[in-house]
Amino acid sequence: MRSTESPADKQVCYSPALLTFIENCLKHRNPVFHFPFAALEERFVAKRIQDSLAFIAAGHYFLLIMFVLIIINVIAYYPDTAAANDFFIVKYVYSPLTVAISCILYGSRLRWVQAHFYHVMAPLCVFILYVITALALAHTGDYSEFVVYHLMVAIILMAFGLRFSTLYFVGILCASGLLAYLYIESHHLPFNYIKFSNYYILYSAVVVILAAITEWHERLAFLQSILLDHQTHELTRLNQQLDLMAHQDALTGIANRRYFDDIAYKEWERALRDQQPLTVLLLDVDFFKRFNDYYGHSAGDDCLKMIAQTLSHSTLRASDMVARYGGEEFILLLPNTKASGGVSVAERIIQAVDALKMVHSQSDIAPHVTVSIGITNIMPSSHLSVTDMIQQADLALYAAKERGRHQYVMYHPELLTTSTSA
């Protein structure tokens, strides 16, 4: 294990094979103790390491006090054993145990140790269990029973505190037991098989079974969270697509009329509050019906796409909005823009569309596709509305067509009189 990233920091590829595996495990509740997908197993192990580090951080003072009390009890209640052979147990048993336990409690704060957590903790646990087991087997009487209780506590803490995987923990227990046996044999001490089988083997087997059941349920819960995460991700993606479909014109990829109306209303309210001008450009492709009938609907669609792209490139600010208003009509909303700004944008659009040089042999005014633009600049007030603003731009567009197309016209009140007379 070389990483202790939070599960949220790692992305698991939701492949069909992975999802099928997860669904089968959850459906049949298969007893899985190692995921066949490396990224999935790594993420689960990283989660357990984080849980173990949290356990150590929360309980290290308690664990340290408990170990100190054990040493005090040894000195207080078993002084002869502690002082025997020039304090052999204190020097060669409890002192090394203190170092090993301190490495677990405080070494886990080091980034390198966290990156190699189980590779560091496993040898320390083997050493601790080996020493305590050998100590319990090498003595008899009350002191031996005293040490056995500590052995049981150590096994429980390692299984559920350090959160080794079941197979990993079985290896630790086997290695510790074997070392304790070899120590007893090498020192020609009587080996108590009954004590070893009951206090070590049987007890360890019970703890391993409980740890295995716990890990199994944790793995199932982890798979459930992965599946839920995937479903949430998919739901978010679908919602984003639906939101995009609701706001985007399917053909041109720019905003649609519905979205424009929403944004226009919000910008109107903001401009009314801040007393800032709004400028709207309403644009129409000249003789588009002729173009569509002569070149075909596919060519007509391509023409509209290119116009939409050109309009998008003609705006300079993120707040400016371009939308398809219907058919061959497009509309631009320029917040906090004076009339001169709208004129500059209109001139830029006409030049950019001309530069496309899309052939239009059916046009009466040019051999290529052209546009007409109506512009209005308005200061929002309580007796006006968004509808009034768009109607002004529409009147200006009508005037541009009446004057020969391929031009822009700025709205002024006289246009309203001219339109009414017509």
Among candidates 412, 273, 260, 373, which has minimal Cα distance to 326?
260
Would residue 251 count as lying in a domain? no
Say if residue 190 is in the same domain as residue 265: no
Say if residue 285 is in the same domain as residue 157: no
Long-range CB contacts (< 8 A, 24+ apart) of 75-84? 77/146, 78/142, 78/143, 78/146, 81/139, 81/143
Say if residue 380 is in the same domain as residue 263: yes
Cα–Cα distance measured from residue 382 to residue 273, given in angstroms and rounded to the nearest whole number: 10
Say if residue 104 is in the same domain as residue 166: yes
Rounded average pLDDT over 293-309: 94
Helix (H, G, I), strand (E, B) or coil at 375: strand
DSSP state of 197: I
pLDDT tens digit string along 77-97? 788 877 887 778 888 888 888
In the block, tokens 């700025």 appear at: 410
pLDDT for position 270: 93
Would residue 325 count as lying in a domain? yes
Higher-pLDDT residue of 307 and 10 is 307
Say if residue 221 is in the same domain as residue 262: no
Say if residue 195 is in the same domain as residue 292: no
Confidence of residue 127 (pLDDT cuts 50, 70, 90): very high
Would residue 141 count as lying in a domain? yes
pLDDT for position 13: 63
pLDDT for position 422: 42
Confidence of residue 19 (pLDDT cuts 50, 70, 90): confident
Say if residue 69 is in the same domain as residue 193: yes
Would residue 152 count as lying in a domain? yes
Confidence of residue 417 (pLDDT cuts 50, 70, 90): low
Rounded average pLDDT over 168-178: 93
Cα–Cα distance measured from residue 315 to residue 346, given in angstroms and rounded to the nearest whole number: 10
Question: Percentage of the chain surpassing pLDDT 90?
Answer: 48
Would residue 3 count as lying in a domain? no
Long-range CB contacts (< 8 A, 24+ apart) of 35-40? 35/219, 37/12, 39/10, 39/12, 39/13, 40/12, 40/226
Would residue 283 count as lying in a domain? yes
Q: Which helix (H) or strand (E) element contains residue 321?
A: strand 321-326
Select from 234, 266, 284 the last residue of a domain: 234
Say if residue 180 is in the same domain as residue 296: no
**pLDDT above 80 for 234:** yes
CATH number of the domain at 325, please. 3.30.70.270
Residue 214, token pair as written in the block: 């716990």
Question: Percentage of the chain surpassing pLDDT 70?
Answer: 95
Q: How many distinct structural domains can be found in the chain?
A: 2
Residue 285, token pair as written in the block: 């492709």
Select from 200, 234, 268 the last residue of a domain: 234
Would residue 249 count as lying in a domain? no
Q: How many residues does the chain have?
A: 422
**pLDDT above 70 for 419:** no
Helix (H, G, I), strand (E, B) or coil at 319: coil
pLDDT tens digit string along 362-375? 999 999 999 999 99
Would residue 2 count as lying in a domain? no
Say if residue 200 is in the same domain as residue 320: no
- Is 295:241 a contact under the CB 8 Å cutoff? no
pLDDT tens digit string along 254-297? 999 999 999 999 999 999 999 999 999 999 999 999 999 999 99
Q: Is the pTM of this model over 0.75?
A: no
Say if residue 83 is in the same domain as residue 121: yes
Say if residue 225 is in the same domain as residue 290: no
The rounded mean pLDDT for the chain is 87
> What is the span of the domain harbouring residue 147?
15-234
Select from 167, 199, 234 the last residue of a domain: 234
pLDDT for position 230: 86
Say if residue 222 is in the same domain as residue 328: no
